[in-house]
Amino acid sequence: MKKERFVVILKEGSSFKEEGVRQLLKDTETGVTYLAWSAGYGAAITPLIGPDGKPLMDSLCLNDAEIE
């Protein structure tokens, strides 16, 4: 089975509500965590940034796409 590049580690909200759906995605190749949001016809994705101004990374996820 092909390894997925991005895995969803958290999903909340509803596409039926005005607030939309928020997801945390983990890039299994770089370890960077992203926030993805979608509502109606709009969507956005951005990396989460730590206090040092660098992307939040999780080295534990680099080789593990089994997160749900």
Task: Please name the residue that has the structure tokens 């909200």.
Answer: 13
Give residue-wise pLDDT tens across range 31-48: 999 999 998 889 999 999
Provide the pLDDT for residue 57.
84
Sort 24 into a burial class: Cβ within 10 Å, 0-12 / 13-18 / 19+. Answer: middle
The first and second tokens of residue 40, run together, are 């109606």
User: Does the pTM of the predicted model rise above 0.85?
Assistant: no
Contact 34, 48 (CB under 8 A): yes
Residue 47 forms beta bridges with which residues?
Answer: 34
- 60, pLDDT greater than 60: no
pLDDT of residue 46: 95
